[in-house]
Each structure stands twice: as structure tokens, then as C-alpha cells.
Amino acid sequence: MVEYESYSSALRTAPAPVFANLVHYATLAANGHNTQPWRFHAGTDEMRLLPDFGRRTPVVDPDDHHLFVSLGCAAEKLAIAAAATGRSSEADFDPKDGLRFWFGAGAARAHPLFDAIPRRQSTRARYDGKSVPNRDLDALIEAGKLPGVRLIVLTDRLQIGRMRDLAIACNSVQLADPAFVAELKRWLRFNPRTAMTLGDGLFSASTGNPVMPDWLGQRAFDLFFTAQSENDKLFRQIDSSSGIAVFVGERADRAHWITVGRACQRFLLTATCLGLKCAFINQPVEVAPQRANLANLVGETGKRPDLVLRFGYGPTMPYAPRRSLETVVV
Ligand SMILES: Cc1cc2nc3c(=O)[nH]c(=O)nc-3n(C[C@H](O)[C@H](O)[C@H](O)COP(=O)(O)O)c2cc1C
């Protein structure tokens, strides 16, 4: 039987930065629109990871699916960072209260995914189109396996082409919706100083776009951000990818969305260890009427797919900003 000590008693006896370190690693997780919709709390006998509903994106994510997937991504990083520093962890999830973690004492041990945490990024660039060796594909599939989640990996060019066409069709739907575009624009950060000051949002340089003063960025967005230009970019990016991964939860509820986030983070960190880059192409998940087509495409008819991402070999881009720890600890 494992004896679990309380996290905060460990906190009291351990050097003070331990809690901050764990939170820091957790906040490096992938999350929708980089809103970072999480808060962390060290209680008397547990640590909590709470949803921050003030950071919802109601247009693209009306039922908070992405928000809970993002929490799952942070949860997995927290668990990996804890394991690497000698704390086994158990977590439970309550739809009202978020995740509760208990930590067990143990010896610090090297964790292969831990070192990849600060290096992982969403790389929205063209990749080189090279195939991934089978043993690395197997490692990715193994990493993304968690009970309650199906991971489908496509490497066949015909299937990748079908996914590309679906993503582009959905992108056109989204960019024709003024509410979607207005919400997206709210989270764009054109200027490095603004991006670093706010510590959130989609920073131009990280998304492969030029940096400029905020006023000019807003104008340039209105003038040059068109469905045609974005679709052309998406076409080239998907065609240059080695493969596509699709995560499908067994059920469409918050608990499964958290598990999908955890599985996805393991996949992304394993990809990072293997020298691969990844980027989400979630349009077919976000345009609700197209979800059935996506499910059919990956042989999961009747299910609600959760995440689509592409992977391949590509350049390292500037990293996305993060909010300071003080703003996420409550
Ligand atoms: C649930 C979820 C949905 C996402 N959807 C998209 C997407 O459709 N397109 C995209 O380019 N990035 C998407 N992302 C990636 C985030 O924008 C990215 O994680 C965030 O900006 C932080 O950057 P980083 O991953 O480089 O740390 C998504 C991430 C998550 C967790």
C-alpha cells in the first residue's frame, strides 16, 4: 500500500519553491487560444487545479470542451513534474471543483518526458514532409494510450489529404463567422511587449506572423487576414506534415476531456523527445456540424472527436508567453 503524505505538509518541510516549480511546469501545457484557463491552490492536505471560467472562449468553445482538455494538459505536466521530483501522485476530478492531487513521498528519478516540458511547443510552420520511422510512431501511439481515450494516427497521404480538405472547409466556416473572428482577434498579440506584459494569447511570432505595434497589427489583421490566405497556409502546412493524430474520448463529458488532455500531453512530450514538432488543426472539432464527418474519417462513427494535430520535422519557433505564477495561484 502506498502511503500518501499531504502535499502541503510536504510543502512545509520542503524548500519553498517546490510548489512554484510544479505550477510553473504545469502552466507550460498546451491550451486553447493560450488563455491559460487554470488556477492552482495548495490546500491543507491536497493541491487543486481549478478551471478559470473567466478565461472561457464561448464562441469557439461554447461547452468548455477545450477548457477542460487544457486543464487535462496542465494536470499531466503537473504529474510528470511531481514524479521527476520524487512525488508519485493520485488525482481525482470533480466537475465542480476541478482536479485534486495527492502526492506521495519517493526518490527523485529521471523522467524522460520531464526534460521535454520546457522544449515542447505548438509549431505552426511548414514541416519537411519526411516519414517518421515505425519505431517512433509506435512510441507515439504508446504514449497517447490512456483508458477511455482512442488515438488514431494517420500517415497515409490519401487520408492526410482528406483531413486537410476537411480542416480547410471548417476553417472557411469559422472565418466567415464575425463572432469567431472577433473572439480570435481578442486573443491575438501583435507586439512582443504586449505579449510579455499580458503573458497570454496568440503571439504573432509564435504563430509564424510578423510582429508589429498593436495599432498596426489590428489594421493589418483586418486588411490581410483572409480565409483564402489562411487556407493556402493550412494547405501547405498539412501537406508538409508526416502524419496526423486524432484523439477520441469514449464519452463526451468533462472527465473524459481531462483524460484526453492528459493523453495528448504525453503524445506531445514524446514527440518532442523524438525531435518531432506538432501543431493542432482543430477546426473539424470546433465546427460542430462537421464532427460526424471527422469521426467517420477516422473510423469512429458515432463518437465525438476531441483533438486533431499534425506532426513532422520542422523548425523551432519563438515560444508562446505564459502568465506569471502569482496570477495563477489562489
Ligand atoms: C484544446 C486545444 C485546442 C487547440 N486548438 C488549436 C487550433 O485549432 N489551432 C492552433 O493553431 N492551435 C491550437 N491549440 C494550441 C494552442 O493555441 C497552444 O497550445 C497555445 O497557444 C500555447 O502555445 P504552446 O502550445 O506553444 O505552448 C489548441 C490547444 C488545445 C489544448
Domain co-membership, 159 together with 308: yes
Tell me, what's the pLDDT at 154? Answer: 98
Distance 35 CA to ligand 1 centre (A): 10
Tell me, what's the pLDDT at 206? Answer: 95
Tell me, what's the pLDDT at 155? Answer: 98
What's the CA dihedral at 218, 219, 220, 226 to 10 degrees?
90
pLDDT greater than 50 at residue 23? yes
User: With b meaning 16 or more CB within 10 Å and e meaning fewer, what string describes 85-102?
Assistant: bebebebebeeeebbbbb
pLDDT greater than 80 at residue 8? no
Domain co-membership, 113 together with 193: no
Residue pair 80/25 in contact (Cβ under 8 Å)? The answer is yes
Residue pair 242/130 in contact (Cβ under 8 Å)? The answer is yes
Of all protein residues, whose CA lies closest to atom 20 belonging to ligand 1?
34
Q: Name the residue type at position 259.
A: T
For residue 306, give the nearest of 217, 222, 259, 246 by alpha carbon. 246
Domain co-membership, 80 together with 227: no
Of all protein residues, whose CA lies closest to atom 21 belonging to ligand 1?
34
Tens of pLDDT, residues 99-130: 999 888 878 888 889 999 999 999 999 999 99
Placement of cell 472557411 in the chain: 172
In a domain, 125, yes or no: no
Of all protein residues, whose CA lies closest to atom 6 belonging to ligand 1?
280
69 lines ligand 1 (CB under 6 A): yes
In a domain, 203, yes or no: yes
Residue pair 132/310 in contact (Cβ under 8 Å)? The answer is no
Tens of pLDDT, residues 214-256: 999 999 999 989 999 999 999 999 999 999 999 999 999 999 9
Domain co-membership, 274 together with 146: yes
Of all protein residues, whose CA lies closest to atom 1 belonging to ligand 1?
66
Task: List Cβ neighbours of 224 (8 Å cut-off, separation of 6 or more).
Answer: none
72 lines ligand 1 (CB under 6 A): no
Q: How far apart are CA 7 and CA 54, in angstroms?
A: 27
In a domain, 231, yes or no: yes
Q: How far apart are CA 247 and CA 227, in angstroms?
A: 26
Instruction: Specify the CATH number for the domain of residue 85.
Output: 3.40.109.10
Task: Count CB-CB contacts under 10 A for residue 35.
Answer: 22
Name the percent of the chain lying above pLDDT 70.
Answer: 95
Of all protein residues, whose CA lies closest to atom 2 belonging to ligand 1?
32
Q: Return the ligand 1 atom nearest residue 31 CA.
A: 31
pLDDT greater than 80 at residue 11? no
Last residue of a domain, one of 93, 118, 143: 118
Domain co-membership, 73 together with 174: no
60 lines ligand 1 (CB under 6 A): no
In a domain, 126, yes or no: no
User: With b meaning 16 or more CB within 10 Å and e meaning fewer, what string describes 295-308?
Assistant: bebbeeeebbbbbb
Distance 70 CA to ligand 1 centre (A): 9
Domain co-membership, 107 together with 160: no
Tens of pLDDT, residues 139-159: 999 999 999 999 999 999 999
The sheet that has 305-312: what strands, in order across it?
149-154, 243-249, 305-312, 277-280
Integer angstrom CA distances of residue 96 from 27, 50, 172, 270, 329: 21, 9, 35, 31, 18
Averaged pLDDT for residues 24-44: 94
Mean pLDDT of the chain: 92
Q: How far apart are CA 71 and CA 164, in angstroms?
A: 27
In a domain, 330, yes or no: no
Domain co-membership, 47 together with 142: no
Q: Return the ligand 1 atom nearest residue 306 CA.
A: 1
Tell me, what's the pLDDT at 236? Answer: 98
Tell me, what's the pLDDT at 6? Answer: 37
Tell me, what's the pLDDT at 111? Answer: 85
Tens of pLDDT, residues 260-301: 999 999 999 999 999 999 999 999 999 999 999 999 999 999
Structural domain for 37, as ranges? 4-118
Distance 111 CA to ligand 1 centre (A): 24
